[in-house]
């Protein structure tokens, strides 16, 4: 029975020994460069697997269905309803306690003592006589403002 790997020391001319590893195959023949063959075989397997994967991905790319964007046709006989309310801005100094303040830039109204009413610019203020008038104009009470 022959061992798979045998270490043999060969002597040089100056008497130093250099270890040499000799490998045998199953038939007892000497195998030259066994590590090189294993690395080469591993590299070939990895390359073939990568190439197969890439070719598989490329073959699917052309079979996809394109994205279509469809718009519904607009109806031309639609009518818009506009509610026209007359709102007369009043200077801030004349705001009463029962009056509420709204803004041109939002749909919220505030009581005059609320912090939100103080932050609205004068040119954007809309003053309503009662909270009901503000609600009728489409405004809602601000969440941080409560009636006294």
Residue 13 lies in a domain: yes
The answer to whether position 59 is within a domain reads no
Q: Which two tokens stand for residue 3?
A: 């061992």
What pLDDT was estimated at residue 54?
Answer: 92
**130 within domain boundaries:** yes
The answer as to whether 127 is a domain residue is yes
The three-state DSSP-derived secondary structure of 59-127 is HHHCCCCCCCCCCCCCCCCCCCCCCCCCCCCCCHHHCCCCCEEEECCCCEEEECCCHHHHCCCHHHEEE
pTM greater than 0.85 (yes/no): no
Domain-embedded: residue 1: yes
For the chain, what is the domain count? Answer: 2
**83-122 per-position pLDDT tens digit:** 655 655 555 444 456 788 998 888 898 888 888 888 888 8
Rounded to whole angstroms, the Cα distance separating 5 from 23 reads 5
Quick check: is 147 in a domain? no
Q: Which residue has the higher pLDDT, 97 or 17?
A: 17
> Which residues form the domain of 132?
92-141
Averaged pLDDT for residues 8-36? 72
Residue 16 has pLDDT above 90, yes or no: no
């Amino acid at each position: 029975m022959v061992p798979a790997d045998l270490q043999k020391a060969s002597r040089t001319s100056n008497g130093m020994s250099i270890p040499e590893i000799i490998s045998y195959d199953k038939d007892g023949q000497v195998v030259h460069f066994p590590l090189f063959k294993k690395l080469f075989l591993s590299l070939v397997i990895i390359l073939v697997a990568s190439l197969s994967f890439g070719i598989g991905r490329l073959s699917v790319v052309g079979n996809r269905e394109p994205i279509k964007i469809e718009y519904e046709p607009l109806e031309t006989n639609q009518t818009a309803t506009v509610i026209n309310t007359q709102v007369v801005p009043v200077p801030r100094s004349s705001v009463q306690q029962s009056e509420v303040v709204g803004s041109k830039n939002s749909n919220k109204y505030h009581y005059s003592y609320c912090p939100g009413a103080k932050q609205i610019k004068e040119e954007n203020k809309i003053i309503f006589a009662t909270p009901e008038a503000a609600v009728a104009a489409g405004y809602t009470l601000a969440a941080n403002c409560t009636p006294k």
